[in-house]
Amino acid sequence: MTKEECYELGKIVKTHGLRGELSIYLDVDDPSEYEDLDSFLVERDGGLIPYFFETFQLQGNRALVKLEEINDIVTASELVGCPLYLTLANLPKLTNQQFYYHEVVGYQVVDEQRGLLGLVASVATLPHQDLLVVDHQNREVLIPINDDIVLSIDRDAQTLQVRLPDGLLEVYLSE
């Protein structure tokens, strides 16, 4: 299993108690969709290692977990700070116009007035705004991801329809 076949679920935040329990942070929109998890993958030493739960107690966007074969605080503390992953098959299903960031990389971005802008090279996740990174005329253009700008997705045609704010594209093209 490689990281390209997975998505990041969250991370192990700290130990909890003396018997190997861990507190994890779930970096997801709706943590309740993960209540029935029985395992996750932990990134350690450059690889993904599966761990199965003895217990899993969801508490908002955090959970207290007891992992099989982790029975003391010393062993548990070795996992603190490790990122957690699930396979892409575990992603919750989205409604029609929602999308996961990883799925739109390589999609064409089409502005309703300017036409084809270019391909999505990546998605930048910043504290206050997520951005499509688009290759437009050999320049990197950052397009905010929100409902007023990203209008629709066509998965069959692999396109994102956008309405760029006035002047946004010109900021990147002027020099």
Give residue limits of the domains in the chain: 3-90, 101-168
Q: Which helix (H) or strand (E) segment is 123 a member of?
A: strand 115-125
Q: What global pTM score does this model have?
A: 0.68
What are the tokens at 47?
A: 């690889």
* 32-60 tens-digit pLDDT: 988 888 999 999 988 999 999 999 999 99
- Which superfamily does CATH assign the domain made up of 3-90 to? RimM (2.40.30.60)
**What CATH architecture applies to the domain 101-168?**
Roll (2.30)
What are the tokens at 43?
A: 């990134």
Taking the C-alpha atoms of residue 26 and residue 24, their distance in angstroms, rounded to an integer, is: 6
* 106-148 tens-digit pLDDT: 999 999 999 999 999 999 988 889 999 999 989 999 999 999 9
What are the tokens at 14?
A: 């700290």
Residues 143/160, Cβ–Cβ less than 8 Å: no
Output b/e per residue, 105-123; b: 16+ Cβ within 10 A.
Answer: eebbbbbeeeeebbbbebb
What are the tokens at 73?
A: 């605080």
